[in-house]
Amino acid sequence: MSLAVVGTDTGIGKTVVTAGLVSSFRESGYDARAIKPAQTAFPEDDDAAYVAAACGEESAAVRLRSRPEPLAPAVAARRADDPISYESLLADTREALAESEVGIVEGAGGLRVPLSNEPRREIVDLVADLSVSAVVVARSGLGTLNHTALTVEALRRRDVPVEGVVLNQYDGETVAERTNPDELERMCSCPVWTVPTVELEVPRDATALTEHLPEPSALR
């Protein structure tokens, strides 16, 4: 099984949700692994290391490309004079998926983030070319309806099945938060799950999200 975790923006909790999903699959007896095709702001940011720490197993995550500046992968690669080849990255991601019983690919930022330089491709291109389904991670509060619906629409235009939407850092403190889940289900015609805030500095806390995320059997 293969799955992509994509977001409506950067810094919204894709890595935490990825860690929760990988942990859930592993607890269910699957050899699950997170795959981070392109990591920027490295080594200060290391999403694969976070997932591995959350799951307590180094084998729970792999990072394929990294660049030091906190920019879109293609931009960071160009500034480092070290272009990312899309065909090479696509091949390596496919290989990593083939080596995993359950492979969960984590995107970078939103769908239209530039991913590679040769040729120019974006995150949405990789997800579509991998022929995987997607889980969309979005903010919980005011403003998320538009961003989330546009992201789901963009995926479906590329024939990417959408498993559902995860509203991250959901506390239900505002009217917008409380009404957004039902409204998004109507707008996007897919399940919407809500997960509470966890401490990002404590990776093991990410595994506590499993009770708020879909059961592995509910994902294709």
Annotated ligand binding at 40? The verdict is: yes
Annotated ligand binding at 198? The verdict is: yes
Annotated ligand binding at 12? The verdict is: yes
Annotated ligand binding at 146? The verdict is: no
Annotated ligand binding at 210? The verdict is: no
Annotated ligand binding at 148? The verdict is: no
Q: Find tokens 């991998």 and name the residue.
A: 130
Annotated ligand binding at 14? The verdict is: yes
Which residues does the annotation mark as catalytic? Answer: 36
Q: Find tokens 């019983």 and name the residue.
A: 101
Annotated ligand binding at 16? The verdict is: yes
Annotated ligand binding at 143? The verdict is: no
Q: Which residues are annotated as a binding site for Mg(2+)?
A: 15, 47, 106
Q: Which residues are annotated as a binding site for substrate?
A: 40
Q: Which residues are annotated as a binding site?
A: 11-16, 40, 47, 106-109, 168-169, 196-198
Q: Which residues are annotated as a binding site for ATP?
A: 11-16, 47, 106-109, 168-169, 196-198
